[in-house]
Each structure stands twice: as C-alpha cells, then as structure tokens.
Amino acid sequence: MNLLGVLRRLPALSLLCAWLCASGAMLDIAQVFAWTRMFAGYTTTKSIVAAAKETFDPDKPCAICRALSKAREASSQHGPAVPTAASEKIVLILDGSTCFVPMSSEQNWPNPLQAPAVVRIGDVPVPPPKAVGA
C-alpha cells in the first residue's frame, strides 16, 4: 500500500478509533480478548464445555476482567458527556456570514479545428543510403 492510500484512509480510521473510545467499545474488545485468553488456557487441561463454563464463571474472573470491571465502574461514575435537558445548551457551531463567490464552470480551451498547424506540401527529405563496409 502506498503513502497516498494510507493518507486517504487516515481520517476514516481516526474517526473509527475515536468512536470506539468514546462509546466504550474498547472495553468490550478488551473483554473479548480476556475471555479468549482464558478459554485458550482452560482448553489445555479441560474439555471445551468445561473450559467454556470456567471462562464465563463470574466467581472466577482473571486479572484483566477485574481491571475491566474497575474501568467500567470508573466510567459510569463520571456521568454522560452530553448535556442533560436541565443544563443549558452548548453551541458547537458558530455560523458566520461569509461572502460566497462561485467560480465559473466555463473554461477557455482553444478550438482544435481552429488551431494553426504546420502543413507540408512536399515530400519529407530522406538522407542518402550509407555505403556498406566503408
């Protein structure tokens, strides 16, 4: 992939990352990672059914699961980032009056039929043949 392709996708990837962080989906992705890691660890010694039961047992969380539950509690204590109906409105966009001057879509290209061209009347001069072996 070239640099231009990366630069074209950079705004979309940045927006996706910001949305994932703001919506709390990063905690969900980390939770899936923790469950996958736990399940893989349990399948080395137990059957698939027993490993699934151990993985999703709420009485046996791993260190990652405990850290994620603390992060979820901390994010719920801060409250919503959007204003409620009781608080005053926040103006995010200020509309200023600007003078808009449209560009003309008409282009002044020369007409190819009227463009001057060099016209040859005679034959093209050809140099004489060279002597072989001289």
Residue 111, domain member (yes or no): no
Q: pLDDT > 70: what percent of the chain? A: 75
Residue 36, domain member (yes or no): yes
Max intra-chain CA distance, the chain: 104
Residue 106, domain member (yes or no): no
Average pLDDT, the chain: 81
pLDDT tens digits, 48-75: 999 999 999 989 899 999 999 998 888 7
Residue 126, domain member (yes or no): no
Residue 110, domain member (yes or no): no
Average pLDDT score over residue span 82-96: 66
Angle of the 48-55 helix axis to the 25-43 helix axis, nearest 10: 140
Residue 45, domain member (yes or no): yes
Backbone φ and ψ of 19, nearest 5°: -65, -40
What is the domain extent for residue 37? Answer: 24-81
Residue 41, domain member (yes or no): yes
Residue 15, domain member (yes or no): no
The number of folded domains in the chain is: 1
